[in-house]
């Protein structure tokens, strides 16, 4: 199975919230609710965005504030619909974010056995 797909990457901070919910977790759960092919949240060790402030892991900090990238992959139409749904939420955030898309070739996509 090989097909063209679209990767949506959302760059935020691990501490960003929407209401009481962590934004990264909310995005992954929303993608699952929309039955998108897959989503992954990855923590970075260092990074900066539009503010040019470098964020990195520091062992003395109580709350780890590091870059977070949420990547979601599916058919282009489904990704575009999802992006339109989350766009107002991201635009209303107090802090910055960056959203990019990229055409990708999905080479293998198969389900593992579900735990009972």
Q: For 3-64, give the secondary structure using H, E and C.
A: EEEEEEEEEEECCCEECCEEHHHHHHHHHHHCCCCEEEEEECCEECCCCCCCEECCCCCCCC
In a domain, 115, yes or no: no
Quick: pLDDT tens for 46-82.
Answer: 777 777 777 666 655 556 778 899 999 999 999 999 9
Whether residue 18 lies inside any domain: the answer is yes
Q: Rounded to two decimals, what is the model's pTM?
A: 0.84
In a domain, 114, yes or no: no
Structural domain boundaries, residue 58: 3-106
Query: What's the mean pLDDT when you consider all of the chain?
Result: 88
* E strand or H helix that includes residue 84: helix 76-91
**76 falls within a domain:** yes
């Amino acid at each position: 199975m090989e097909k063209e797909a679209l990767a949506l990457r959302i760059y935020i901070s691990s501490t960003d919230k929407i209401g009481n919910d962590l934004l990264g977790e909310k995005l992954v759960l929303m993608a699952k609710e929309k039955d998108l092919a897959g989503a992954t949240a990855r923590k970075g060790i260092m990074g900066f965005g539009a503010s040019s402030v470098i964020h990195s892991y520091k062992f003395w900090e109580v709350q780890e504030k590091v870059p977070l990238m949420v990547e979601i992959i599916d058919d282009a139409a489904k990704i575009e619909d999802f992006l339109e749904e989350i766009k107002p939420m991201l635009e209303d955030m107090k802090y910055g974010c960056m959203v990019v898309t990229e055409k990708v070739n999905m080479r293998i996509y198969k389900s593992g056995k579900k735990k009972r």
